[in-house]
């Protein structure tokens, strides 16, 4: 078994920016020479998340609307009382979605469904420079 790790920098536009990173992950697999294994994608930071989604504008809007219902931007958050940074909702939303995802790859290709893409979800209130760690384990 081999392990390969790679960091990727992504500049986001700020809150609710959803970035399709599927090709970045697929290219990392291709460049590794591995054909069978698992790719873990991890967003370093407590206000970003990684998940899968059918990456189309309507569903991106639906995701944003759902997050607003579950963790409203205007609610009171203890984090904001402590730090006065107005992003308590961002931290809660990121914790709900999660910072990482593991996707198997077979014959050098990600094992995703036809309409499924890997996405980075920016939840902070301002544009950010994000570091994604892609770690491959396989052969």
- H-type helices in 12-111, by residue range? 22-32, 57-70, 78-83, 88-97
Q: So what's the pLDDT on residue 5?
A: 98
Assigned token pair, 73 = 């931007």
- What pLDDT does 4 receive? 98
Q: What CATH number has the domain spanning 2-138?
A: 2.60.120.460
Domain residues of the chain, as ranges?
A: 2-138
pLDDT for the residue 26: 98
Which residues in the chain come in under a pLDDT of 70?
none
Number of H helices, E strands in the chain: 4, 8
Measured distance CA(16)–CA(44) in Å, rounded: 17
């Amino acid at each position: 078994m081999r392990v390969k790790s790679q960091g990727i920098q992504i500049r986001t536009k700020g809150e609710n920016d959803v970035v399709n990173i599927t090709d970045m992950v697929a290219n990392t697999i291709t460049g590794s020479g591995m054909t069978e294994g698992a790719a873990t994608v991890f967003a370093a930071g407590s206000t970003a998340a990684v998940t899968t989604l059918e990456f189309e504008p309507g569903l991106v809007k639906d995701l944003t609307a759902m997050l607003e219902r579950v963790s409203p931007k205007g609610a009171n958050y203890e984090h904001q009382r402590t730090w006065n940074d107005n992003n308590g909702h961002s931290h809660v939303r990121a914790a709900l979605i999660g910072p990482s995802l593991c996707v198997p790859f077979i014959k050098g290709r990600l094992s995703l469904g036809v309409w499924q893409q890997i996405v980075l979800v920016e939840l902070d209130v301002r544009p950010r420079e994000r570091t994604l760690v892609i770690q491959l384990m396989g052969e």
